[in-house]
Amino acid sequence: MTDPDKEQLQRDVERTRRELGETVEALAHKVDVPGRVKEQAHETVVRMTAATNQAVDSLPEPVAAQVEKARRHPGAVAAALIALVLALWAITRRNR
């Protein structure tokens, strides 16, 4: 075997190893369903946060201030919504 043939063979071996490594990496990513789900969920959270921030920025200032206040106290907002739902439920039950 001549020297150029050895070099060509070595390049082919290196290229094949690299391609095999890329294939194994792609298959490992494809098989990692929980990891892909987490990755997609993170991307969705990032997109939704950006969309929410953009929506809040487009609100009139007094409304935007109330939204920011609600963001800082989500428990209070949840409690108020639960109280409202219970009040509506009690009113509709009384009217039967």
The domain ranges of the chain are 1-58, 61-95
What's the mean per-residue pLDDT of the chain?
A: 89
23-56 pLDDT tens trace: 999 999 888 889 889 999 999 999 998 998 888 8
**Whether 64 contacts 56, CB under 8 Å:** yes
Q: Is the pLDDT of residue 95 over 80?
A: no
